[in-house]
Amino acid sequence: MDLTGRFTREDAIRWAPLMVLIALVILFTAINPQFLSLRNFARITVAAAPALMVAVGVTFIILMGSIDLSMEGVLSFTAVLFCYAFVKFGGTLAAGGWIALPLILLVGAVVGMINGLIHVKLRIPSFMASLAMGFVATGATVLLTGGGIVKIDDDVFRGLLTYRLLGFPLMVYVAGIFVLIAWFIQTRTTLGRNFYAVGGGEELAHASGLNVKRVRVAGFTLAGVFYAVAAILQVAKLGQAESVTGANFMFISITSVVVGGVALWGGVGGVWNALVGVLIVNVINNGMVVIGLPDYVQDGMLGLLVIIAVVLSTDRRAVTVVK
């Protein structure tokens, strides 16, 4: 709102993604009232939780005006490594499998950091560096598994999916907590402020005495941690990991971030935009199943709806040139 309390165009842009989300919910409910049920919402959030973690991670990168395309490889890699570690340390959470949790967050951080260092030190565009890094990680995963599947069979760990609180599985709350952590980093820490400064004006940030390179590496490291969280949630959901565990996360996460209103040129948006964006994409996905669209048109529809959502929820007027 401006000083007079009127609803301005800026407000409209800020709230557009949320409006799109509400409109979609109303639309699908109108077609099939079953859509608006606790059961179905729990289903949507479970599907969304791992993608949300990836989206939040990549949001930090996009805020800096860079892009990270390594998520699929990193997710598969950390998921498989997590399963191996979990089994190695006892096979159940109680027996020592819990060690795998912090360990894999650390692995995510290291992989992200390497990604960032390659980008910054070798001066390779983030687009190229991260894409390559993703492939390296996928390759490492295939080497580790030999193309096989690693299973986890621990009821306590799977409780993330099976234990429900107020109708929602535990993993939804875990994802929620990590969103809050991300939000805290974004608004309350120097690192978060630095992301905006680098994205809004890299030369200025440099001229203000910020260590831009360090900020970039920190961003990629942080993203790596969130990919690892996504991997843990994905394993909790499926009970297993393999070299294709991370498949499709690239499209879903980046689409979500953009639909949610984070500008690809950096400096605009944040964690809440990522959250709304992920929900929009997952509501579309789920809604099409609920209203009974045939399988073979769902992918095409998703693409179309994403384009419409981007049109409605992003401010393209400020951008004179679209690349």
State the residues that interact with another protein by CB under 8 A: 3, 187-191, 193-194, 196-197, 200-201, 203-211, 267-268
Of the candidates 76, 19, 60, the residue with the CA atom closest to the CA atom of residue 241: 76
Q: Which is nearer to another protein, 28 or 195 (CB)?
A: 195
| Token pair 């165009």: residue | 9
CB of 114 to another protein, least distance (A): 22
Extract long-range pairs of 27-31: CB within 8 Å, 24+ residues apart. Answer: 27/287, 28/283, 28/287, 28/290, 28/291, 31/287, 31/291
CB 113 within 8 A of CB 139: no
Q: Which is nearer to another protein, 34 or 189 (CB)?
A: 189
CB of 193 to another protein, least distance (A): 6
CB of 184 to another protein, least distance (A): 8
CB of 266 to another protein, least distance (A): 9
Q: Which is nearer to another protein, 162 or 187 (CB)?
A: 187
Q: Which is nearer to another protein, 164 or 316 (CB)?
A: 316
CB of 168 to another protein, least distance (A): 30
Q: Which is nearer to another protein, 209 or 292 (CB)?
A: 209
DSSP string, 112-166: HHHHHHHHHHTT--HHHHHHHHHHHHHHHHHHHHTT--EE---HHHHHHHH-EET
Give the side-chain half-sphere CA count within 13 A for 229: 27
* Distance of alpha carbon 68 from alpha carbon 75, whole angstroms: 13
**DSSP classification of residue 91:** S
CB of 8 to another protein, least distance (A): 10
* Distance of alpha carbon 285 from alpha carbon 256, whole angstroms: 12
Q: Which is nearer to another protein, 200 or 239 (CB)?
A: 200
Q: Which is nearer to another protein, 86 or 196 (CB)?
A: 196
CB of 185 to another protein, least distance (A): 9
Of the candidates 243, 247, 246, the residue with the CA atom closest to the CA atom of residue 145: 243
Q: What sign for the dihedral angle of Cα 253, 254, 256, 260?
A: positive
Query: What residue type is assigned to position 55 of the chain?
Result: A
CB 48 within 8 A of CB 218: no
* Distance of alpha carbon 256 from alpha carbon 261, whole angstroms: 9
CB of 308 to another protein, least distance (A): 26
Q: Which is nearer to another protein, 37 or 211 (CB)?
A: 211
Q: Which is nearer to another protein, 63 or 259 (CB)?
A: 63
Helix (H) or strand (E) run with residue 255 in it: helix 249-259
CB of 187 to another protein, least distance (A): 8
